[in-house]
Structure 1
Amino acid sequence: MALVQRKMATPQECAAGLRKLTDAELRRVDEAARLRAVGLSGLDGSDLYQEAIARMLEGRRQWPLDVPLEVFLRKTVQSIASDYRRRQEAAGVVAESDVRADPETGDGAIAMAGDVSMAPQERVSAAETLARIDAMFRDDADAQAVIAGKAHGLSPAEIQKEHAMNDTRYATTLRRIRRSVVRLSEKGGNLA
């Protein structure tokens, strides 16, 4: 079997490719980054998105020209998020919500102190986003299981094991979630 050499984009081709992305493609990459950032402490979707672009432009991630740029960016975002999550787990980073202030009630120290990480408008927007996603998948137990598992930082294998899903069922559910979120976003539904 012969090894096929893939043509990689030059920095100029990367910059030109970014300029050619449509609003819909940019929105899909942004939505993918937001979804991948769920459960990552100290990192949000825009951080993942910007890091993916920076790595591509700096040549740390090479874009194969036979792969659509949107797909490449989404996979780069996924890789960065997975790597960050692994480093958090290896370092023993504990989610703020798991820090307990009162052993009897289980109230978290952060929850008792109040949320100062977001402006009031951002909190309202986040609550609306969660409500839309919940409504979108209210009758879809598999989708709810995958979303909850990802929100808690579980790996795909852990989600599959916990909910008795095979690879096909998990992948199908994940595609269904992504398509639904993209459709809502394209209809003008604000997920941010």
Structure 2
Amino acid sequence: MGKLDEYASPEEFSLALKSLNKEELAKLALYARYRTRGLEKKAGDVMGPESLMSEAVVRTLEGTRKWRKSVDVLMHLTQTMRSISSHWRRALKEGTGPAEAIMERVDFSVFEESEPTNGSPEDRLYILEDLRALKEIFVGQGDVLGVITMMGEGFSKEEICRTLKIQENDFEAVRKRISRGIIKLREQGKLNYE
């Protein structure tokens, strides 16, 4: 078996995921609840069991977490959830918190075309640099770029969903992808605005 054959493609992972039965999915859900105990109280739904399961699946589909074909898919997902939840706990302990908390603190008015009325010029520059870096992560992903742009222009979730013709759960999924982008920028030391 060559190196290219060792890891499953996103399509192979998707098929394996769809083949899981109710009992196996229930085991994953139970493990996710176990790994996120206490996290929801500190960080809300962003660190809940459903978010953890979704994060494990998304990371595997995006290729940031590779599934070795020789490992059972359930084992892969549980190990991925363990890794993610450990990172979340460490982030909370260090006081960095979830990426949504960063997004809530950002004054998106600085992204508008008109001159913002608050914040120093240096702050506006840092935020614009962060926005540019965040958009670079999502080049070619129009749904994400659309949400980032509209959030920056001060649109509400309802207005964004209506304008971009997306469902509320799709909006939330995009917000989570944006959050992972913020985490990635922070881990790379490319985030100016905290």
TM-score of the pair, normalised by structure 2: 0.43
